[in-house]
A and B are shown apart, each in its own frame.
Chain A
Amino acid sequence: MSNKPVNHARAAEHFLEDAPHLQFHDERLWDMRQKRDGQMHMLPEWQDLREEASRIKEHTLSRLPEYLEQFEENAKKNGIHVHWARDGAEHNRIVGEILKAHNARNLIKSKSMVTEECDMRPYLEKQGVTVTETDLGERIQQLDDQLPSHIVVPAVHKLTSDVAKIFAKDYHTDPNIRDPHLLAEAQRQAARPVILHADAGMTGGNFVVAETGTFVVCTNEGNADLSATVPNLHIATIGIERLVPRMADLGVFIRLLSRSALGSPITQYTTHFRGPQKGGEMHVVLVDNGRSARLGMEDFWTSLKCIRCGACMNTCPVYRRSGGLSYGAVYSGPIGAIIDPTFNERKYSTLPYASTLNGSCTNVCPVKINIHEQLYKWRRVLVQHHEMPFVKREIMHMAGKLMGQPKMYRAAIKMTEVSLGSMPRFVLYNWLNPWGKHRENPHPVKQTFNDWYRKNREKAKPAAASETKK
């Protein structure tokens, strides 16, 4: 995997060039945000729910080892095989071995961000396993060989015509179909035989209940239920942070999840798995992959509260205008920008800057993660770790020095083109140049406020900063 920093700005620029896609993307996600607001307004207890959710998650994270052990004990009692994976490679190996032991060649799976994290599909395919995504959006992305661009609506950056083209290639449907119903039906017809002949099914897990050894999967299509109930082998890949202590805690989270995500009261399917079905076998793979380390990051551990609703993406004005793929990471949008650097600081060093720090993400987060404050803090960390581009770092350094010297600062303001200290003019010019690409420059004025004040307020006497000291 390349270590080169993701060029979010350039990818975003590319995304912005395509007006129809851009407009749909922005409006669709904004509509989801509006629907989410509608649900919030219907529940006077909304802020109480957020507070409860946040406190339950913070409590659970502070006792994660105990709750994981409790879950494991209960799950095993119910006949679930529990596995532990330190990282993606270990996860993939475990899943590969389970499949091999069952001679399973055809795997159907529902959406799981953790398997994306682990880059599992290519691994299994190399082992001769055919992996078929059953979520419609995820399947579109699989056929198009792209990462999901959004954690809830993976193909939200595509129009019907794009899907028609992709399906034409793989499902031999008419590439000119413009009715999404026909395309969805094509997916249903194509998926059914695959589901019926699958050797194994795989799901993620939205929540894990320690007290009962249950894990919960939420979908709208019912594809997780198909994946888990048709084949007799069910493997669930779950991040270790997904726990809640009690069954009753689900009341809080299920009430928040889909309302925050899509603005619908609940997902069409909310499924509780507590043990294998009659004649079946069930495995849970608990995946760390950087989570235990993240728990130790004082400013960033609360990002582990995330329930993957995507509300921060929907509300993010930058995300809506740059698209999920521009983040070049499994997790995109505001939550991605604070999680991704924990996987690879250099590669994702640009993402905390793909934000105006406007704070809307924090306000919509159902578990009250202070996302925009973490973005701010990540910038500090990245600069401390020398992950800021040299020119920008130098400019900030020079600017900072200049701002401490009022006389030099005044002199610089007086020049029509501000040149900061010893910074070569062309470097500065090149760095600031983008301002004018799609925007006019501010208009020059006859006199600055400072000049005006000196002229118009007699009591103002030129004074050195030291003289105004208390």
Chain B
Amino acid sequence: MKIGLFIPCYIDAFYPEAGIATLELLEKLGQDVEYPLDQTCCGQPMGNSGCNSDAAAAEALFVRNFAKYDKIVMPSGSCTHHVRDNFDAIPQTDEVRHVRENTYELVEFLHDILKVDAFPWAEFNHTVGLHNSCGTLRALRTASMSELGEKPFSKPMDLLSKVKGIRFVTPKRPDECCGFGGTFSVTEEAVSAKMGVDKVRDHYQAGADYIVSADSSCVMHQQGCAERAGVPIRFIHIAQILNGAAE
């Protein structure tokens, strides 16, 4: 199985350590991973804004980059959601369908495809609160949703529970959106920032040292809110913890 690694633009530019951890982790798990150098974006910002025709170039490039792989893995729930559910600015050829059907968010790939049962190298002696992005939660369904009253499950929690030393806390509103929302963070700046502050305070008051998430876009926003509001909490991508980061 040949894996193509997609690293979303904000991870590339602002959280390269999350990308590196993703790559190293997959390699530790014995996977054959390649990162096509000419990648840019999955098209989500344009798609989510309603400017779907403007997503065409990014989507076409994405397919050119990734069509040759058996599986495409990315450390981002929202990008996976775009590729899987909304990637329709370009004609739906066999290549496009192949890409869409074989794109995985990192957690679901580890949990559902590789079925990883141990991360012997991982130890994280901190108290963490898990932030599920709305993309992973309500689109990819990597965890149970509070609104539906379904039997509780959580793929990211399943994976994190295999890490030595880690302790968990649950915020009061675990499913509440943190307010990033792509361009929403700019066009609805005030509401977005308020949601972000409320989110990080909720985790902090629950006793978390770290907020861990499978989505760096949420983290970028939450970190900015926490720093401005003076909430002393740190942020880390789930790939880093699973790859053995100590802090």
Contact = CB atoms under 8 A, between A and B. Distances in A.
Interface of A: 8-9, 12-13, 16, 22, 26, 30, 37, 40-41, 46-47, 315, 317-318, 321-322, 352-360, 362-364, 372, 376, 378-383, 388, 392-393, 396-397, 399-407, 409, 413, 431-432, 434-445, 447-454, 457, 459-460, 462-466, 468-470
Contacts of B173: 30
B214 interface: no
Contact of A356 (B16, B39, B51, B180): B180
Nearest to A398: B54
B143 interface: no
Contacts of A37: 146-147, 149
A9 B36 contact: no
A120 B180 CA distance: 39
Contacts of A464: 38
A41 B149 contact: yes
A16 B198 CA distance: 13
B189 A435 contact: yes
A376 B86 contact: yes
B36 A403 contact: no
Given A376-B48, A397-B51, A407-B38, 20 more contacts: A9-B191, A315-B147, A355-B184, A359-B137, A360-B138, A360-B147, A379-B49, A379-B50, A380-B52, A399-B46, A400-B43, A400-B46, A400-B57, A402-B40, A404-B61, A406-B38, A440-B223, A449-B7, A449-B20, A451-B16
A271 to B, nearest CB: 30
B171 interface: no
Chain B interface, DSSP helix/strand/loop, else mixed = helix
B5 to A, nearest CB: 9
Nearest to B196: A439
A356 B189 contact: no
Contacts of A41: 149
Contacts of A358: 134, 138, 177, 181
Nearest to A379: B50
**Which residue, A376, A399, A431, has most C-beta atoms of chain B within 10 A?**
A399
A30 B134 CA distance: 18
A413 B12 contact: yes
B40 A354 contact: no
Interface in B139-184: 139, 145-149, 173, 175-177, 179-184
Given A9-B188, A37-B149, A358-B181, A465 B64 contact: yes
A432 B189 CA distance: 10
Interface residues of B, number: 82
A356 B182 CA distance: 8
A16 B39 contact: no
Contact of A363 (B14, B34, B138): B138
A392 B45 CA distance: 12
Contacts of B232: none
Contacts of A372: 138
A437 B68 CA distance: 43
Contacts of B189: 9, 13, 434-435, 437-438
Contacts of A469: 64, 67-68
B50 A388 contact: yes
Contacts of A381: 50
A353 B227 CA distance: 26
B58 A403 contact: yes
A413 to B, nearest CB: 6
Given A356-B181, A396-B54, A439-B196, A460 B37 contact: yes
Contacts of A26: 198
Given A383-B49, A440-B227, A463 B36 contact: yes
A454 to B, nearest CB: 7
Contacts of B187: 9, 353, 392, 434
A459 B11 CA distance: 22
A182 B81 CA distance: 52
Contacts of B192: 356
A20 B177 CA distance: 22
